[in-house]
Amino acid sequence: MILTIYMPYLCSERIIEKCYNYRKTNFMRQKYRGFVIAVCLFFMIGLLSCNQKSISAISNNEVETIKVNLDSKGIEHPFNTPEHFRISLKDYIGNLELIPLETNSESIISDVSKVLCYDNSYIISDRQSGKILQFDDKGRFMRSFGKKGRGPLEYIDNRDVEINHKTGELGVLSITNPLTILNYSISGDNAYSKVYENIKGYRFYHLSDSIVLVYYTGNYEQDFTLIVSDKLGQVKASYFPNPHSSQYSSIPDQTFHVYDDLVLFNRERSNVIYQIEENGHISERYHIDFGKYNMPDNIKELFYTDFHEYRERAKNYVAGVDQFLESEDHIYFSFGFHQYSVSAFYSKDSQILKLGYSTRGWLDGMLISPTTIIGNEFITILDAYEVFEIADYIEDKTSPAWIEFLEENPMFSKLYNNLKEDSNPVLVKFNLNHF
């Protein structure tokens, strides 16, 4: 830093001396001296500013606000009375398809952590077993990608997976610090590793051939929620400084979501949805307004300083949006309120909002929470054991109540008769009619 300041000063003295020899008058000497020093100071400030890290600016023009009225039922705390919010989507579901995933010795799934859609197939990441599996559009098993280990084509962890739609490669976040991504060809027969020095991260997305988004990251001495890096690991932009850290922080499985050539992104404990363009520029897209239930900043701060106090006071507010998905006609988001997880479906055309408890359970009777989206179709996961848990509510399988239940729920009946408790999960793909 001393050298940066001193060198322009030496340059200015030499130039001044030449000016003095050329113009002998004191007047001209002062004129040239002042001019040169001004130029050199400008140059010096530029050098200094280039050596400083900066927080990139975010645009917030034309932001749409989605208002959520949690008192719409006339109840101060509506989720104390669950029956009011057991809203079914049955009347709004258009096309619906059930896709049981093939179960064999190679394709057994323990717990689905992420679902990707690519070229009429589904890629399932299972962090519990360490498997990454691909199924075709009918649910038939196609292949697996690598395995956990330290050998060729192996990853240390499958903390996150993403498809690079520019190259057709499957990226697996193998090591978080430094960020290490193992890139597989879609055929799964070769792979190469890419290490991003000085960057740690828990979620990533290939924005283009040369730009990578990294979520919940540390960059040198400063922590940021989101950074934009080039393919060489050089940080191009940093967003959302993290002044604190907490052992209770959670990172959603689906951090980045693609819609209309934009990457959508939402932060932990925030009501703002952001959009990221291919060049890395970020701007605000939606504000989710919960009215008087928006959590005050002083309570959010307790998350880092006194978590037990935070839990007690936070239950009366909405901390922020947990998951966000956007289709051509609808928006889905989830949030926590009064210790419940709540699903919200919003019609972009009519601006009508439907609320209900989030559940991955049976969709004939309750609102469901999708895990991803493709085009205008939502996709969610139904575990086989959930089907049998529901069936256990009616013990006598010869009773009129059981027969009536199967008649009223033909989709459930089809699954119950074709699945076993240890079968792989079922993908549920559906779109919504206008409401």
Q: Residue 6: is its pLDDT beyond 50? A: no
pLDDT score for 251:
67
And the tokens for 99?
A: 């896709």
Q: Please tell me the distance from the alpha carbon of residue 153 to that of residue 109, in angstroms, as a whole number.
A: 20
Residue 127: phi, psi to the nearest 5?
-70, -30
Helix (H) or strand (E) holding 356: strand 353-357
Amino acid making up residue 361 = G
Residue 63 CB coordination number (10 Å): 13
35 touches 27 (CB < 8 A): no
Residues 408 and 308 placed together within one structural domain of the fold = yes
Q: 278 vs 3, which has greater pLDDT?
A: 278
Q: Residue 344: is its pLDDT beyond 80? A: yes
- C-alpha distances (whole Å) from 69 to each of 22, 120, 268, 336 are 78, 38, 21, 14
Q: pLDDT tens digits, residue range 147-167?
A: 888 877 788 888 899 988 778
Residues 41 and 84 placed together within one structural domain of the fold = no
> Which whole number is the average pLDDT over 90-111?
86
pLDDT score for 20:
37
Q: Please tell me the distance from the alpha carbon of residue 100 to that of residue 407, in angstroms, as a whole number.
A: 21
pLDDT score for 39:
40
Residues 100 and 35 placed together within one structural domain of the fold = no
Residues 96 and 32 placed together within one structural domain of the fold = no
pLDDT score for 140:
96
Residue partners of 288: CB distance under 8 A and separation at least 6:
65, 66, 68, 271, 272, 273, 321, 333, 335
Confidence of residue 56 (pLDDT cuts 50, 70, 90): low
> Which whole number is the average pLDDT over 387-395?
80
Q: Residue 13: is its pLDDT beyond 50? A: no
Residues 44 and 82 placed together within one structural domain of the fold = no
And the tokens for 260?
A: 């209309």
Q: pLDDT tens digits, residue range 119-136?
A: 889 999 998 888 999 999
Confidence of residue 77 (pLDDT cuts 50, 70, 90): very low
Amino acid making up residue 120 = N
How far is C-alpha 37 from the geometric centre of its chain's CA atoms? 50
> Which whole number is the average pLDDT over 70-99?
60
pLDDT score for 57:
63
Q: Which of 314, 311, 324, 332 is nearest to 271 (CA)?
A: 324
Residues 82 and 46 placed together within one structural domain of the fold = no
Confidence of residue 386 (pLDDT cuts 50, 70, 90): confident
Confidence of residue 240 (pLDDT cuts 50, 70, 90): confident
> Does residue 423 sit in helix, strand or coil?
coil
Residue 195 lies inside a defined structural domain of this protein: no
pTM of the model: 0.78
Query: Highest mean pLDDT: which of 25-34, 51-60, 345-354?
Result: 345-354
pLDDT score for 83:
46
Confidence of residue 383 (pLDDT cuts 50, 70, 90): confident
Residues 290 and 321 placed together within one structural domain of the fold = yes
pLDDT score for 325:
93
Residue 20 lies inside a defined structural domain of this protein: yes
Q: Please tell me the distance from the alpha carbon of residue 370 to that of residue 324, in angstroms, as a whole number.
A: 10
Residue partners of 231: CB distance under 8 A and separation at least 6:
194, 209, 210, 211, 212
> Which whole number is the average pLDDT over 405-409?
79
Q: 392 vs 35, which has greater pLDDT?
A: 392
Helices marked H in 136-219: none
- C-alpha distances (whole Å) from 138 to each of 43, 99, 142, 162, 423 are 64, 6, 11, 21, 16
Q: pLDDT tens digits, residue range 291-312?
A: 999 999 899 888 878 888 988 8
Residues 70 and 139 placed together within one structural domain of the fold = yes
Residues 140 and 6 placed together within one structural domain of the fold = no
- Beta strands 256-259; 262-266: pairing state: antiparallel
Q: Residue 362: is its pLDDT beyond 80? A: no
Residue 248 lies inside a defined structural domain of this protein: no
Query: Residue 65: beta bridge partners?
Result: 287
Q: Please tell me the distance from the alpha carbon of residue 366 to that of residue 358, in angstroms, as a whole number.
A: 8
Residues 34 and 135 placed together within one structural domain of the fold = no
pLDDT score for 49:
37
And the tokens for 46?
A: 């530029």
Query: Highest mean pLDDT: which of 52-61, 184-193, 270-279, 391-400?
Result: 270-279
pLDDT score for 244:
61
Residue 169 lies inside a defined structural domain of this protein: no
Residues 139 and 15 placed together within one structural domain of the fold = no
Q: Please tell me the distance from the alpha carbon of residue 258 to that of residue 221, in angstroms, as a whole number.
A: 31
Query: Highest mean pLDDT: which of 32-46, 88-102, 113-127, 303-317?
Result: 113-127
Residue 406 lies inside a defined structural domain of this protein: yes
Q: Please tell me the distance from the alpha carbon of residue 45 to that of residue 4, in angstroms, as a whole number.
A: 10
Domain range for 18 is 2-50
Proportion of the chain above pLDDT 90, given as a percent: 18
Q: Please tell me the distance from the alpha carbon of residue 276 to that of residue 283, in angstroms, as a whole number.
A: 7
Residue 182 lies inside a defined structural domain of this protein: no
pLDDT score for 341:
80
Number of structural domains found in the chain: 2
Residue 242 lies inside a defined structural domain of this protein: no
> Where do we find the tokens 């498997």?
131
> Which whole number is the average pLDDT over 53-70?
74
Residues 265 and 373 placed together within one structural domain of the fold = yes
And the tokens for 9?
A: 């000063």
The whole-chain average pLDDT of the chain stands at 76
Helix (H) or strand (E) holding 46: helix 26-50
Detail the DSSP E strand segments found in 21-146.
Answer: 64-67, 93-100, 114-117, 121-126, 131-136, 141-144
Residue 190 lies inside a defined structural domain of this protein: no
89 touches 354 (CB < 8 A): yes
Q: pLDDT tens digits, residue range 195-214?
A: 888 788 888 888 877 788 88
